[in-house]
Structure 1
Amino acid sequence: MDLAFVQSGRLERFLDSDVISAAEVAALLKRRGVLDGMPVFLDEETQMPVPALCEYGRYLSTSLLDEGTLKDYGRAVFRTDNYLVKLESDVLSASESELVAYRNYRTQRQKKPIGWNAWSKESFVLDDLYGFLVDRKILSHRPVRVAARGRNPLAPRLRVGMHIRHLTFEQYRHFRDVGLGGQLPNAQVDQTFRGWAPLRNRAGSDIALGSGTRWGEWSTVLLPEIGLWPGIPGGAAEYTVQACAKYGKARPVYVPEDAVASADLFCLLERPDIVRRAARTLERKARDLFVVGEVDVAGGWVRGVLDGVVREFQMSAMPAKLRRITVYEGEFGLEALSLFVCRGGLMPGADAWKGYRHRAWARMNALADETTPHLPARRWRWHDLRHTYALRLLTYLENLMDGEEPDLHARRRRHRSYLSGHIRHNPLLIVSRRLGHSSPETTYEYLQYTDDLINEFEAAFNGWVGDDKATYAEIASRALSEMNGGRR
């Protein structure tokens, strides 16, 4: 079986048919509500659609999943079928034992086994697929039995919680300034640094940490949204994120003044040169871009020409794909309306930001010395800055609520009273709203990282074991650090 994805933007370039024009096909896709990224499963020999699986792809498209998620679902089904073919089976006729064998292959036997977190997502796709096939009477029953408490053999063995990693102040500054910014560990300028656009990368990390937003939310921000637009006074910025938010859930995003200033420095010193170099390229691509002619900052909308038609969009409702091709007439010609730009003049994608982070990690390890903050075994992710934001804000709000109360038990009693009587000002719910969590239960995961466990161990076992060279707290600290993957 082969896998393809719907890409309406490529029709005009690649469709060559006397039977139907590219414009007619594009109009048909829109009329039928077929989204870009919808998986299309083709028979390997005939290259004809596999009806049952293509019907599932159509079902996914009507669920209004984003393009990346649609492709992930399609790839999960495709991988499963590829493995089952080797067993002389396929996803439509698979037995429970064959699917269990696939699970074992993915989590144990393949060259680079995936973890239970990744398998949890894949098993969810398979469960969703077979549920759909049974509901549509394509299959008479699911190939995998449902055991007690709704579990099945494909489910992960362990219930996996959030993988929370956070940075200390020293670690963050080292990541930002040395890894991304090209400085030496002693804060001096590294004359041998050959990195590209360090101010852009530093600004990205500052906005990620200062706003606590997800990668897809901060990396797609537009200049008018963050306040770097003519007629907007400087300072902190606040805007609404919706189309680029997880599940499309709208919420306000606050970017502190220092983070905006970091972005402003990039716009003053680096961005003009990138824009100037890419202007001619963007002019050649103008037909494929959304060329904005009017920006209403107060109303939060933009108006311009897209595919030869004048269109108007609310900025918060613009998905990442549209933001990536949105440009306006600037000083040097067409330039991106997004804050962050790369060599091509448009918004960097996921692979580009991953590359910036990976190169920063390699640089930090190459320059590591006795003054370097602790570097964990696994490289930091952009999402770790969101976790750092959450923990810092949660700890700050809890300390603010505690006031000067010195007694730990009294503070805990105040917490219980506060939760029941002052929901609106509860620190956990404030952080949950800021992060855009669908449920406060997700935010509960952070609570285990806000307690000062080491001091509690010291008080509980003071004088029991050890000698002057190694206290129990030091032993406990090392044990906790190892359990948490190097975190303290």
Structure 2
Amino acid sequence: MRLYFANHRAVWRGGDVAGVDRTLFAEALLRHKLPAGTPVLLDDAMRPIEPVSSWFRRLALRRKRPKTMRSYAYTVLMLLGFLQARGLDLRSATESDILQFRQWRLDDAEETIEEPSWDRDAAAIGQLYDFLKDIGYVTARPWRSTLQGESLGSGTSTDVRVRHMEIEQYVYFRDVGFAGLTPDAGLDATFHGWRPHRNRAACELALLTGMRIQEWSTLLLPELGLESGGRPRTTDVDLAACAKRKQPRSVYVPADAMELLDPYLTIERPEIVAASQRTLRRQHRDLFVVTRIEGDGRRLRGVLEGRTVTRVVKDMDPDLRRVTVLETGGGLEPLALFVGRGGKMLSFSGWDRVRWRAWDRLQTWSSHQAAPQLPRHRWVYHDLRHTFALRLLIFLTREVLGDAASQELPIATLLDHMTGNPLLIVQRRLGHLRPSTTYRYVRYLKDPMREVDDAFREWTAVGGASYITIARHMMNLEEHAHAAPR
């Protein structure tokens, strides 16, 4: 069995056939192409393996994300291989066979997985068997229902991992790690990083908007009102295709984030674009070449794969955004906000390399007296989102308490509660589907480890009190110990 993924742009790039008109080829490709990222499972004779390939096609036509389809495809490929080694297939597999596959994935495979990863596998297998049941390939799922329903999942809920930064840690992360300064805000003559203004601006944008990396790193200039040299003080961005689960929401970009973009847009970005002109011209046919920006930056009209098309910006997926350029007459201008070498939008792995180099710098300067304490594990970009959520939640909570106190109300009115509920506001800003997801942040409003340190600092500072001494004091045992029997 061989697993492939549909990539119509690769077909377009390699589609030169002698005697075939390029326009006709584009029309034929449009009629027969699968949605981008669709898994295709082939046998040794390069024929589609059914009914699995039809299930993949249904997922794609229902607009399942390519990343999710890829995960599902590898799960099913492993399941098919596991069953095939036992002389079985999807139709003949029993509950015992599926549970043995689960045990193999968790305990016996060359690379075992944890329960949360198995839950994703279980979701894929469950959806596959639902499809097989719909088309009459099987009569029912081969496993029995449990208290959790007809699911192979572990039934355990995983706690969200919330790690945030204090202000000193964030400034150190942004200015020393990304911008190449010293911990005391001086210039570091030994810094050899690339594009510090871009990296620092990206860090600030991620923090002050709470956007995920797939949201802020794929922004286009028109979404921020930055096309044609515009510099709005603040702006709002409508997210859709690049948001998690493609859940639409509006994101406010404050003045501080826009201001920190200016050095990058003025100094670094023009240099990157000028140096990439030859590369962009060579790849001209593979790009979405925009000739007109319409609707106040909401729509782009240009040539894509030989056809003149109009695309709504918020509905453009990351792959299309990476190849979107503007024909200015004097050259090709990438419309991506953050660009790297060659004029292309940085990939997620490219941003990871930036973050790894930043972490190495932070550790190099960790002994400096102005450096804050670092966590054991390196920070990730999502920690900035958690920091945004917690700081906003703390501020809104204090604001609501202050309003209630100033109005001398024993309890907030229903209207006040509905309009000013901090959790609901943060939920909307983060784009969480359920309030329960946002509610998990409440337990992190105070750092429990810091509270432990504060609770025992006074005792440990005097004579180095042991935990036994502390426990005795808390349980009022010291008085009894010192009291002599009469």
TM-score (norm: length of structure 2): 0.85
1:42 alignment partner in structure 2: 42
Contact 1:397/1:427, CA 8 A, preserved across alignment: yes
Shift of 1:378: 2.5
| Whole-Å separation in 2 of the counterparts to 1:388 and 1:373 | 16
2:188 alignment partner in structure 1: 190
- 2:417 pairs, out of 397, 419, 422, with 422
1:483 alignment partner in structure 2: none
Contact 2:366/2:373, CA 8 A, preserved across alignment: no
Deviates more, 1:101-110 or 1:211-220: 101-110
1:301 alignment partner in structure 2: 299
Q: How does 1:246-325 map to 2 (within 5 A)?
A: 246-296=244-294, 298=296, 300-325=298-323
Residues 435, 250 of structure 1: alpha-carbon distance in 2 compared, 3 angstrom cutoff: same
Residues 299, 141 of structure 1: alpha-carbon distance in 2 compared, 3 angstrom cutoff: same
Shift of 1:329: 3.4
After superposition, give the CA deviation of every residue in 1:185-213 in whole Å (9 maximum; x if it has no partner).
33322222222112211111111111111
**SS of equivalent residue, structure 2 residue 343:** coil
After superposition, give the CA deviation of every residue in 1:39-97 in whole Å (9 maximum; x if it has no partner).
00111x22211011101101111211232222222222223334444555455544434
1:447 alignment partner in structure 2: 442
State the AA in 2 paired with 1:241.
L
| Whole-Å separation in 2 of the counterparts to 1:284 and 1:180 | 32
CA RMSD of aligned residues (A): 3.5
| Whole-Å separation in 2 of the counterparts to 1:122 and 1:79 | 10
1:65 alignment partner in structure 2: 64
**SS of equivalent residue, structure 2 residue 341:** coil
2:158 alignment partner in structure 1: 160
1:437 alignment partner in structure 2: 432
Q: How does 1:165-244 map to 2 (within 5 A)?
A: 165-230=163-228, 232-244=230-242
Q: Does 1:135 align with 2:130?
A: no
| Whole-Å separation in 2 of the counterparts to 1:224 and 1:17 | 37
Residues 265, 238 of structure 1: alpha-carbon distance in 2 compared, 3 angstrom cutoff: same
1:2 alignment partner in structure 2: 2
State the AA in 2 paired with 1:437.
H
State the AA in 2 paired with 1:137.
G
**SS of equivalent residue, structure 1 residue 254:** strand
Shift of 1:27: 4.2
Deviates more, 1:20-29 or 1:104-113: 20-29
| Whole-Å separation in 2 of the counterparts to 1:206 and 1:327 | 25
Q: How many positions carry a matched residue from both structures?
A: 466
Identity %: 38
Residues 369, 231 of structure 1: alpha-carbon distance in 2 compared, 3 angstrom cutoff: closer
TM-score (norm: length of structure 1): 0.85
Q: Does 1:121 align with 2:120?
A: yes
Q: Which runs of 5+ in 1 are unaligned?
A: 477-488
**SS of equivalent residue, structure 1 residue 148:** coil
Shift of 1:243: 1.8
Q: Which has the larger radius of gyration?
A: 2
Q: How does 1:446-485 map to 2 (within 5 A)?
A: 446-451=441-446, 468=462, 469=464
Contact 2:183/2:368, CA 8 A, preserved across alignment: no
Shift of 1:451: 4.5
State the AA in 1 paired with 2:177.
G
1:375 alignment partner in structure 2: 374
- Structure with bigger RCO (C-alpha 8 Å, 6+ apart): 2
State the AA in 1 paired with 2:113.
I
| Whole-Å separation in 2 of the counterparts to 1:302 and 1:332 | 19
